[in-house]
């Protein structure tokens, strides 16, 4: 007999492969809808020195050939797909001859080390705060809830700009931007780490406060709902103490929050775009932002491919994890109903 869980996994994975294919196709099409020819831009930049027009002509066709843009769209598309499977992300237009793989590889650690701690700590603190204020009620709840509402509703880039203006520009407490100071070589020295942390605080704060607020509101609502549920009352009526009941509530209220965590991880690179731009942080977000402005197709495709993989992986892991946490969903996964 075949294991129903394996069957479930196979079914899920096929759906994810289909979703990946659709997303990757969109990644190909969308950058090409940006008006303007990227090669003309590059050639025009070279033309500022007063180069002869036939030289420009030749430059143009060389680049078109080099980037494969002279071929019909469907050929480009199949080349693109083939290259993805070979994990060949191509060459950047704007940073020619920089490989997209290397550019992203250099930016990715910055984004991950900025986002993962912000998302995780925001999620943990937010959930604890939300659960506690639902349980506690009263003054604590009103203050925590109001603050959470304020922070979660400020667009995070606004908060970033306000922080940047007040704390960095106005009072000069923090650096205005960048991942580290000019003139410091990125090595694993103590000096570099201290400098990186100093640059890290503002972008981190601007994201973590928003994350705490959002998570706290969600968790508070879920906890309030669970706290008034029948099983809580029943457990109380049988003399089960509050501390134990809180554990039931916390676990059950947590379920939707785990989805929230996965979505945060999935959209981490995309979400980094604005924060990284505001603080000129050398991560994937900044890279994508400049790539879009320059119509740098391979670089845009590379970044969006990373985002696609991140979103799909996060969602897939959550779907599987859900089954382990909630027996009702496990029953569905195992085909019990």
Partner 1 sequence: MGNLLTAVNLRAYYRTVQGEEIKAVDDVSLEVREGEVLGIAGESGCGKSTLASVLAFTVTPPLYVVGGEVKANGTNILTLDRETLRREIKGKYISIVPQGAMNSLNPTARIKNFVIDVLKEHFPEMSKEEAIQRAKERFSALSLPPRILDAYPHQLSGGMKQRTVTVISTLLNPKVLIADEPTSALDVSSQKIVIKLLVELLRMQIIKSIVFITHELPLLRHFADRIAVMYAGRIVEVGPMENIIFEPLHPYSKLLMSSVLVPEPGMKSKRIEAIPGVPPNLKNPPSGCRFHPRCPSYAKEFCDTSIPPFVKVGPDHMVSCFLYGGKDE
Residues that bind partner 1 (CB under 8 A): 229-231, 233-241, 244, 248, 251-252, 255, 325-328, 331
Give Cα 61 distance to the centre of its chain.
37
Nearer to partner 1, 22 or 240 (CB): 240
Nearer to partner 1, 260 or 266 (CB): 260
* 314 contacts: CB under 8 Å, gap ≥ 6: 262, 263, 265, 266
Nearer to partner 1, 327 or 335 (CB): 327
Nearer to partner 1, 125 or 329 (CB): 329
Q: Shortest Cβ distance from residue 219 to partner 1 (Å)?
A: 16
Q: Shortest Cβ distance from residue 95 to partner 1 (Å)?
A: 51
Letter string b/e over residues 193-215, b meaning 16 or more CB atoms within 10 A of that residue's CB: eebbeebbebbbbbbbbbbbbbb
Nearer to partner 1, 77 or 248 (CB): 248
Nearer to partner 1, 127 or 252 (CB): 252
Closest CA to 217 of 246, 167, 189, 253: 253
Q: Shortest Cβ distance from residue 248 to partner 1 (Å)?
A: 5
Letter string b/e over residues 150-164, b meaning 16 or more CB atoms within 10 A of that residue's CB: ebbebebeebbeebb
CA–CA gap between residue 326 and residue 280 (Å, rounded): 42
Q: Shortest Cβ distance from residue 241 to partner 1 (Å)?
A: 6
Q: Shortest Cβ distance from residue 227 to partner 1 (Å)?
A: 11
Q: Shortest Cβ distance from residue 337 to partner 1 (Å)?
A: 9
- Give the start-end residues of each E strand in 27-178: none
DSSP 196-226: HHHHHHHHHHHHHHHHHHHHHHHHHHHHHHH
Tell me the β-bridge partners of 99: 91
Tell me the β-bridge partners of 91: 99
């Amino acid at each position: 007999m075949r294991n129903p869980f394996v069957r479930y996994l196979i079914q899920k994975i096929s759906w994810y492969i289909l979703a990946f294919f659709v997303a990757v196709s969109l990644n190909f099409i969308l950058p090409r809808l940006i008006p303007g020819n990227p090669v003309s831009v590059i050639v025009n930049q070279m033309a500022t020195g007063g180069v002869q027009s036939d030289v420009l002509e030749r430059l143009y066709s060389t680049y078109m050939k080099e980037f494969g843009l002279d071929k019909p769209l469907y050929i480009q598309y199949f080349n693109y797909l083939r290259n993805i499977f070979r994990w060949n992300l191509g060459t950047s237009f704007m940073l020619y001859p920089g490989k997209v793989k290397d550019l992203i590889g250099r930016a990715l650690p910055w984004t991950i080390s900025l986002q993962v701690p912000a998302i995780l700590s925001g999620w943990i603190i937010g959930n604890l705060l939300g659960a506690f204020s639902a349980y506690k009620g009263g003054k604590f709840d009103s203050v925590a809830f109001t603050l959470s509402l304020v922070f979660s509703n400020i667009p995070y880039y606004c908060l970033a700009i306000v922080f940047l203006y007040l704390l960095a520009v106005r009072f000069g407490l923090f650096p205005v931007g960048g991942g580290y100071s000019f003139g410091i070589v990125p090595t694993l020295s103590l000096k570099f780490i201290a400098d990186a942390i100093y640059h890290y605080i503002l972008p981190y704060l601007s994201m973590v406060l928003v994350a705490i607020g959002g998570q706290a509101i969600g968790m508070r609502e879920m906890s309030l709902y669970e706290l008034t549920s029948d099983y809580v009352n029943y457990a109380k009526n049988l003399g089960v103490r509050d501390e134990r009941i809180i554990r039931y509530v916390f676990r059950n209220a947590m379920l939707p929050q785990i989805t929230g965590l996965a979505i945060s991880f999935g959209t981490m690179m995309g979400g980094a775009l604005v924060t990284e731009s505001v603080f000129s942080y050398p991560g994937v977000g900044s890279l994508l932002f400049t790539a879009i402005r320059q119509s740098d197709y391979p670089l845009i495709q590379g970044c969006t491919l990373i985002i696609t993989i991140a979103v799909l992986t996060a969602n897939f892991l959550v779907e599987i994890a859900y089954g382990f946490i909630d027996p009702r969903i496990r029953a569905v996964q195992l085909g019990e109903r």
